[in-house]
Amino acid sequence: MFSIKHAVAMIPASDLGRAMAWYEEKLGLRPERKEDYGASYTIGGLDVFLYVTDYAGTAQHTILSFTSEDLVADMKALRARGVVFEDYDLPGLKTVDGLAEFGPVKNAWVKDSEGNILGFVEGM
């Protein structure tokens, strides 16, 4: 029933101005529309809405992932913009300098200005 419906990814922000600045400065994303309660983006054909809430950054999982053709190069470019990659040492997941490798698949994660976890993946 919903396979033909349009879907929108939702990203929480406790400070909309700070979050919008982070997404623009760090990822180069500019909103298509801004309201007092949120901002709309289109990222690779996916509609994303950054919205104001007191519960931003409470999820302990990846809320949005970006594909990459060369993750190491993208990580270098993001680091040059001040992006800090997370390091994990969990059962089944260990990063080295922010990078996790699962055979041909590479992953990396960052937290945005609101504490939300964003992923980057190569090889999917």
pLDDT at 1: 83
Domain layout of the chain by residue ranges: 8-122
Residue 124 has pLDDT above 90, yes or no: no
Of 27, 65, 33, nearest to 46 by C-alpha is 65
The values of phi and psi at residue 54, to 5°, are -80, -5
Strands (E), the chain: 8-13, 33-35, 38-43, 46-52, 62-68, 89-90, 93-94, 100-102, 105-111, 117-122
Q: Give the C-alpha separation, 45 to 48, whole Å.
A: 9
Q: What is the mean pLDDT of residues 101-120?
A: 97
pLDDT(115) > 90 = yes
Backbone φ and ψ of 64, nearest 5°: -160, 135
Q: What dotted CATH number matches 8-122?
A: 3.10.180.10
What value does the mean pLDDT take over residues 17-33? 98
Q: How many CB atoms lie within 10 A of CB 71?
A: 22
Q: What is the pLDDT of residues 50-95, one digit of tens each?
A: 999 999 999 999 999 999 999 999 999 999 999 999 999 999 999 9
